[in-house]
Amino acid sequence: MLYGRDTETAALADRLARAREGHGSALVVRGEAGIGKSSLAAAAAETAADFTVLRCTGVESEHSWSFAGLQALLLPLTGHLESIPEHHACVLSRTLGLEAVPDKAAPPGDLRFTVGLAALSLLAAAAADRPVLCVVDDAHWLDPDSAAVLLFIAKRLAAEPVAMVLAVRDGYAPDFPTPGLDEMRLGPLDDASAGALVSARLAGLPADARARVLRTAEGNPLALLELPAAEPDTRSAVDWTGARSTTTRLTQVFGDRIDRLPEATRTLLLLIAADETADPALVLDAAAKLGARLTDLAPAEADDLVRFQGGRFAFGHPLIRSAAYRGAPVYRRLEAHQVMADVMDPDDHRRPFHLAAAATGPDETIAAALEASAECASTCGGHGVEYATFERAAAFTPEGPERGRRLLRAAEAAAAAGNGPKARELVFQIARATNDRAVLARATLTAAMVAAWDNDVRESYRLYMEAADHYTAAQPEAAGYPLFRAVELAWQAGDFSRAEVAAEHAQRLAIDHSAWVQDLAVATAGFNRSCAYTVTEAVESLRRLTAIHVGFGDAVSPENRAMIAWWQTLVGDIAAAEQTAAGAVRVARESGAAGALPRLLTLNALTEFHRGRWQDAEALAARAVELSVELGQRIGPVKARAYVLAPVAALRGDADLTRSLVEAAERDSPGNNLVPIDVATALLDFSLGRNEEALDRLAAHLDSHAPGDALGYVPVAVEAAVRAGEPGRTEKAFDWFAEWAAAGGQDHAAALVERCLGLLAAEADAGAHYEKAAGLHRAAELAGNAFPFEAARTDLLLGEWLRRARRVNEAKSRLRSAAAVFERLGAEPWTERVRRELRAAGDAGPVEAAPDLAARLTPQELQVVRLAAAGLSNREIGEHLYLSPRTAGYHLYKAYPKLGVASRTELAKLGL
């Protein structure tokens, strides 16, 4: 019976009931040691007789074993491996240690997604027979790789008959952040419940001791039960008031109980605590070398400190393990680890860690063994354990070049695991450990990449240039890549002088890629309106680079495909950029390159935004935000909100949503002012007719940001300036935009130029420009390069001019065409503006738009429907979107009635 936990047990019972109905979820139970987390989870498991119950417990000493927790949880489900896709079964077979791992057999991409999706598939297969309950105790001690995968799964259980409970200790334990998951925080028992527990379990406790226990335990259930046992005579029990924490008090209580045991018993407890497997054969072999045997464990069993269950020794509470290990003298702990290593098989993956725990200084033999263990973790995709083990290997490496090399492997593995702060820390250690320029070059490249993740553009530029210097000294032919990246970073900062420095360096080296670096530097100068190069030269440079990289075909990485899509956007070829970005998203998903997905999704969303498919843009950008948060990429949410989500909300006139998105982007921005967060506010002002405010914001933006961001907003600035009566403020920007449009040769860009010329022209001449712009929009549409929102804005201006020219019927036609587009997009301020103009033209009829099927769906449903309409199965959709097949089917099932269809066949006919 649990005392004082009726609300909590009811909440868990409700989650189990929902899981039975196919609506899974995860719950994180937090609280101090002994507060009842494990008891609550165990009680839930006892009521889940119709569930398959899976359990694992994080163990401090297992923190270095890659996927140890996942193995413990999922091994009972190996009979379901035949029910999941073959590649998922292969990944899990390696991860769970069911088959030998061949060289370089790591799952592709980010292990959270590759292994996580395979594990989710296995849970879903098991849940097809009966619901599943996963109980993860002491989750804070899980190895990093298991933690990453289980958190991935926990966020994707909505449509699965699977419930997950993760118990996490607050205080005196590693942090275990769980963003996006429901949490239940257990507090102390109330006085009545605490009294009832003591009365039921310690009925013979004297009154004075009972009062003292109730006072000092402070409502902690384990303390209520264990503090009276601190002294054999409970009447003289120690008053623990003033101790640092309940965890400290309980550890001391358990330590005192262990200290009263015979020495041989304490030896056995120390050995059990020193090895995470608590393998009886291993423990007893080691114990024999230290003069202990199995019968010596009886006193500890009698005191309920340790028990034998599931073929393993197990402590009654994790704090007992801690007390048994940390309470032993240092020399005894070293001795225990050495004996463990002595009795282990030489190939046992745990042996290097026991040798390390027994060592007191650098030892190349131990360092080499740890390196071999790290290599093993690498082949399984265990990046989190890999970098920790390489770092430990470096710590045991004597002074010399080997230490720097092992630290480099640790830094690169930390970056692969997405742990930027750890990678930076390790790079700093490398600089102090070695003078090897080749090692320093690779280390600095890693640091530069991490700085770019945080959008620290100037620091990333500096580091890429530093890496190029190291390569120049060690491997000159390899200096091209960091120099190319340095130019790209200089571009983002809008600083041609830095780009020029990198280009000149490349020219001096005369390496194979010198021409690429020079072309990118020319593009940087031209797009930043440098006097050195024109925007026409910049466009030509990007075209050459694009052609070269596109020519590499499938060999181009997802990251470089993102770069190509950005170049295509900059030269105005949005249709090509859309194809490149969408294809890159597909490749990244298929290859497991999750780290590149947020940027690719944002680029794809940006092309959809430009093409007037705002619902698709929002769906892609929302997914970019979700993945960025999951991957820990700080700049991803900022860019998705600033470039797509906030501008769409602004053009729809949704002031509250625009404001919240802008505030979120500003809150998460690194603060270097390189992302145009304020543009959305300017677009909102413009949409709502606040032209002076819009002009002020956009003029500042045009002057201070890289033109790759600014180009698209020049036409808005021109119109705001004309309506504010200050057309001269955007004259230079418009000249630059017109030159860019001519260089790009795209009809839609030429249409925008003509529209601006109409705004700037005298009233009598404006109509001809508007009509020419409308014709160019039509030509772009026929060529498959339509921009509906921009075409509608042109129709609106043309309609207004036609009405003023008293050509009312023509005006009505143009205005109704514009209104239909604005209505479909949900751009209410623009629709209202057209309505006013139609009323002025004598047309007060309702504005109707063709039904926007996409607008009926949530972003997730839209993505699922698009893939289903393209012919993908639920399993394939799940792999593309990192969902289970059941969840993909759930979203599809919800979408059908919204679209008025009942099958995939009908879905394909909707033209989605």
Per-residue pLDDT reduced to its tens digit, 568-608: 999 999 999 999 999 998 888 777 677 788 889 999 999 99
Written as one letter, the residue type at 161 is P
For the chain, percent of residues with pLDDT exceeding 90: 48
Q: Which two tokens stand for residue 519?
A: 């072309």
φ, ψ of residue 645 to 5 degrees: the values are: -65, -45
Q: Which two tokens stand for residue 631?
A: 């991957």
Query: Which of 123-132, 203-212, 567-576, 637-646 is the least confident region?
Result: 203-212
Residue by residue, what is the 3-state secondary structure of 794-863? HHHHHHHHHHHCCCHHHHHHHHHHHHHHHHHHCCHHHHHHHHHHHHHCCCCCCCCCCCCHHHHCCHHHHH
Question: What band does 90 get if pLDDT is binned at 50, 70 and 90?
Answer: confident
Question: What band does 419 get if pLDDT is binned at 50, 70 and 90?
Answer: confident
Nearest of 358, 354, 353 to residue 335 by alpha carbon: 358
- Beta strand residue intervals within 241-311, DSSP E: 306-309
Query: Which of 452-461, 711-720, 806-815 is the least confident region?
Result: 452-461
Nearest of 250, 352, 265 to residue 313 by alpha carbon: 265
> Tens digit of pLDDT for each residue in 480-497?
889 988 998 888 777 788
3-state secondary structure of 909: coil
Q: Which two tokens stand for residue 893?
A: 């099932």
Lay out the sheet containing 25-31: strands in order across: 52-57, 132-137, 162-169, 25-31, 182-185
Q: Which helix (H) or strand (E) holds 173?
A: none
Question: To 10 degrees, the CA torsion angle through 44, 48, 49, 55?
Answer: -70
User: How high is the pLDDT of residue 506?
Assistant: 86
CA angle 143, 144, 148 (to 5 degrees): 120
Q: Is residue 705's pLDDT more than 60?
A: no
Q: Which two tokens stand for residue 411?
A: 């830094």
Q: How many residues does the chain have?
A: 912
Nearest of 476, 481, 470 to residue 444 by alpha carbon: 470
CA angle 484, 486, 490 (to 5 degrees): 120
Q: How many helices (H) and strands (E) does the chain have?
A: 47, 7
User: How high is the pLDDT of residue 229?
Assistant: 62
User: How high is the pLDDT of residue 101?
Assistant: 46
End-to-end CA distance of the chain: 56
> Tens digit of pLDDT for each residue in 838-869?
999 888 777 666 667 777 888 888 889 888 88
pTM above 0.85, yes or no: no
Q: Is residue 104's pLDDT more than 50?
A: no
Nearest of 323, 387, 396 to residue 359 by alpha carbon: 396
User: How high is the pLDDT of residue 233?
Assistant: 44
Q: Which two tokens stand for residue 877?
A: 């959709």
Q: Which two tokens stand for residue 236?
A: 């003289």
Give the range with max mean pLDDT: 125-129, 673-677, 706-710: 125-129
Task: In whole angstroms, give the CA distance from residue 545 to residue 562.
Answer: 13
Which residues lie closer than 8 Å to 609 by C-beta, 6 or more apart? 617, 643, 644, 647, 648
Other beta carbons within 10 Å of 508 = 10
Averaged pLDDT, 456-480: 90
Q: What are the residue ranges of helices labelled H in 21-85?
A: 37-46, 68-74
Written as one letter, the residue type at 8 is E
Nearest of 662, 665, 722, 729 to residue 699 by alpha carbon: 729
Cα 483 → chain centroid? 28
Q: Is residue 475's pLDDT more than 60?
A: yes
Question: To 10 degrees, the CA torsion angle through 805, 809, 811, 817?
Answer: -170
Task: In whole angstroms, give the CA distance from residue 427 to residue 669.
Answer: 24
User: How high is the pLDDT of residue 447?
Assistant: 94
Question: Cβ(114)–Cβ(383) under 8 Å?
Answer: no
User: How high is the pLDDT of residue 339?
Assistant: 95
User: How high is the pLDDT of residue 164?
Assistant: 97
Angle, helices 828-840 vs 788-804, to 10°: value is 20
Q: Is residue 378's pLDDT more than 70?
A: no
Task: In whole angstroms, give the CA distance from residue 774 to residue 512.
Answer: 46
Q: Which two tokens stand for residue 347?
A: 């190939």
Q: Which two tokens stand for residue 84?
A: 């999941």
Q: Which residues of 806-835 are buried (b: 16+ CB within 10 A; e: fewer)?
A: ebeebbbebbbbbbbbbbbbbbebbbebbb
Task: In whole angstroms, give the CA distance from residue 492 to residue 599.
Answer: 14
Question: Cβ(410)–Cβ(427) under 8 Å?
Answer: no
User: How high is the pLDDT of residue 672?
Assistant: 57
- Give the residue with greater pLDDT, 672 vs 562: 562
Task: In whole angstroms, give the CA distance from residue 502 to residue 423.
Answer: 25
Sign of torsion over alpha carbons 359, 409, 70, 149 = positive
- Give the residue with greater pLDDT, 275 vs 663: 663
Q: Which residue has the tokens 């690194």?
A: 670
